[in-house]
Amino acid sequence: MFPTSQKPCQPSKPKRGRHASKVACNGNPNPRNRRDILIGLGGLYGATTLSGNSTGSAFGAPVSPPDPTNCVPPLLPGENDVNCCPPSPIVDFEFPSHKRLRHRRPAQWVDDDYLNKYKEAVRLMRALPLDDPRNFMQQAKIHCAYCHNGYRQKGFPDHNLQVHGNWLFAPFHRWYLYFHERILGSLIGDPTFALPFWNWDNPPGMAMPAIYTDENSPLYDPFRNALHQPPVIVDLANEANILDPSKQIVNNEITMFRHVVIEGISPSLFLGKPYYAGCEPNNPGAGSLEKGPHNNVHRWTGDPTQPHRIDMGYLAWAARDPIFFAHHSNVDRIWNIWKTIPGGFRRDFNDDDWLESSFLFYDENKNLVRVKIKDCLDSRKLGYDYEYVDDTPWLNVRPRPKYAVPLPLPFPLPQPLPFPLTLNSIQRTTVKRPKKEESWSEVEKAEVLVMEVEYDMTEDVKFDVFINDQGDDEIGPEDSEFAGSFMTLAHSHGHQSKRTTTSLRLAITDLLKDLHALDDESIAVTLAPRYGNKPVTIKGIKIKLVPLVEYVNV
């Protein structure tokens, strides 16, 4: 059962033509006029700011771009004087005029001419003066400021601004790569230049791209896992097992199917939970795109001999490695692919609070540009697209039950565990399923396993979740009994509590069908910690029957 003292962050009021009901994010039944609230946010809606009292009446609204003059230098390990904060002034984004699309290619397919251009562009970017916002390290600091709580929400100085763990994740990084790519192209005088993508979802591209491993290249970073150099196959499930390459490829394909097809049946489950201006926490819940392949490739690439597995393994430093941009280019590509998969409700949010949320980035002319999420939803409109990869096998590879089915459990269902629960060993509990409704349909609704998780942000944390696993701890990502994982990267800030609470949500309707458990009143849920030296607290577990179109409330 969930504690009643913490109210979820929700939008402010109903919007015409939207599916979900809306209430004040602090539960106030009598919100003030919405226009007054929006004007007070500054940025898009005006320059006046609201009180910073985080306990007062704060209502959901789009996240405004941060105030660059109110950026807090983050405290990073060994570099307490790092400043990720940009100067001003600010201009509004205008769509580019382009005669032809820039095509991002798989990194394993690039030719020598392209590679020479790419290396020269990064070399020139690294050679820019350190106070130039286009400088490579200054570009890396943009990610640092947004992902490491360097900014406060505009109008709410007691609230951090965070682009991870919520629905800002995918659009923020799309904009980030867009401007980085344009700067690179401008430095070599080639407006058609496009970043490559690390094609880790496709067998020929699953190894670390060789173009990033030359120690004499500006694309090289010394802080990578020495055991994961090519031709080692990436582990998209981050199970830390050494597998035969062919076995690892199969596991990766099944893992992609799980994160994108099974779990990604609605915008909230795939892109992340809503995050509104003036609302806490800043980590309401990552979508399967972020918590799955995104987080796992980051950690797999980072150097385990360094604190926090820098560079790629630590969010504040990740963009110091040029491979970051190839990794996120593929994350961005998977977002495009997701919208083409039939079934579920695989569409971008149509909530104005998401569409109107905005960020600040530097362009190739050193302008600080204000952008909105609604302007980045079509990558072709931004002037780029992805080269077609003929082989995307994971779209048709699904996990199978480890055991012959139907197979009765060899033991009674475990006793329900008391919550909150400190997870320092394998734990099993029984969770009741919601009663079926007469109108229940898999097309309209899905069962989602929901957990409230408290963890320490200064450490990488992972635990796996199994359903009806027969008491066998050797369940793997290739098995239907494997429901998914909770996995976070080290992420902390010197000005906030090191422990935070978020939600893990796993769509389980398909799994229950595969396990012949759709008629069961309860299921067995197993939690298996994998790594993390500081305790994880599970505050509650339940199953929700979620209407897919009412995605804001998922």
**Residue 106 structure tokens:** 């798989």
With contact defined as beta carbons under 8 Å apart, do 536 and 447 qualify? no
- Measured distance CA(300)–CA(241) in Å, rounded: 12
Residue 252 three-state SS = helix
Residue 224 class from Cβ within 10 Å (0-12 exposed, 13-18 middle, 19+ buried)? buried
For 140, 290, 390, the CA distances from 147, given in Å and listed in that order, are 11, 13, 34
Q: Which of 457, 197, 199 is nearest to 316 (CA)?
A: 457
- Measured distance CA(205)–CA(215) in Å, rounded: 20
For residue 281, whether the previous peptide bond is cis, meaning omega lies within 30 degrees of 0, is yes
Residues 6+ apart with CB under 8 A from 178: 361, 376, 382, 384
- Measured distance CA(271)–CA(259) in Å, rounded: 11
Instruction: Put residue 343 in one of left, alpha, beta given phi > 0 → left and psi -120 to 50 → alpha.
Output: left
- Measured distance CA(250)–CA(260) in Å, rounded: 16
Alpha helices in 215-286 (DSSP H): 245-256, 267-271
**Residue 128 structure tokens:** 């820019």
With contact defined as beta carbons under 8 Å apart, do 463 and 536 qualify? yes
Residues in the chain: 554
Binding site per annotation, positions for Cu cation: 143, 164, 173, 294, 298, 328
- Measured distance CA(330)–CA(208) in Å, rounded: 13
Binding site per annotation, positions: 143, 164, 173, 294, 298, 328
Residue 374 three-state SS = helix
Element (H, E) at 332: helix 323-338
**Residue 511 structure tokens:** 């799994």
For residue 311, whether the previous peptide bond is cis, meaning omega lies within 30 degrees of 0, is yes
Phi/psi for 197 (5° steps) reads -125, 140
Q: Where are the beta strands (DSSP E) in 409-521?
A: 421-423, 427-432, 445-456, 461-467, 482-488, 499-507
